[in-house]
Amino acid sequence: MFKTILPLILIISVSSQLFSQEKVDFTIRLGQGGFTDDRSPIGQLGGGQLALDIKPRNIPFVLSISTEYYTNSAGPTHSYEIADLTVANILYMTKLFKSERAVFFTGGGIGWLDVPKGIDDSDAMNRGMVYNVEAGVNVRAFWKIGFYGIYKYLYANKEVNNVNVIDFSEHIILLGITFNFSL
């Protein structure tokens, strides 16, 4: 038991020192975008993202938690639509062109997504794991408001009874606004 408690005490001690000595930066991202998909009658899916980035000032890594959706309508009913996507990413962040205003970030993470089972039962969902890799830039325009752009690759695959119920290998572009603040 002591072997389990000692590393936990060490982790808590180090993280409390990181957060007590330096400020923590927060970024809220709100964006729209989408991807092309031949399964959709219009050949594409649109969606949105709401993300929270948490970054201690003295390390270049960010914990980013985002929720997204990609559909053709307000109520997704097809298996090629993503009703809900939640991802936790670890991102590396660095200044772009020695500027405090422009920040580049890249990294990846894992999460889960909900995909409708079909038109017959629009409330029933298939849930599966998702892998996410992304790169982007956040540019502070004025005060605490900025703009961002992201390219991301999303992969999710799940079979039930030898039938693909979740099948995504998508290249996604998102553009949006940011609100940046520190504590």
Q: For the chain, what are the domain ranges?
A: 27-182
Average pLDDT over residues 6-14: 48
**Through-space distance between the first and last CA atoms of the chain, rounded to whole angstroms:** 36
Q: What average pLDDT does the structure give for the chain? A: 87
Options 2.40.160.20, 2.40.110.10, 3.40.50.880, 1.10.10.10; CATH for 27-182 is 2.40.160.20
Task: Summarize the chain as % helix, strand, coil (round to 5).
Answer: 10, 70, 20
Cβ–Cβ contacts within 10 Å for residue 76, how many? Answer: 22
Contact by Cβ (8 Å): 51, 29: yes
pLDDT digits (tens, 9 = 90+) for 120-158: 666 789 999 999 999 999 999 998 999 999 999 999 999
pTM of the predicted model as reported, rounded to 2 decimal places:
0.82
Beta-sheet pairing, 125-142 with 44-56: unpaired
pLDDT at 1 over 50: no
Q: Which residues pair with 165 in a beta bridge?
A: none
Average pLDDT over residues 84-95: 95
Sequence length of the chain is: 183
pLDDT of 8: 44
pLDDT at 75 over 80: yes
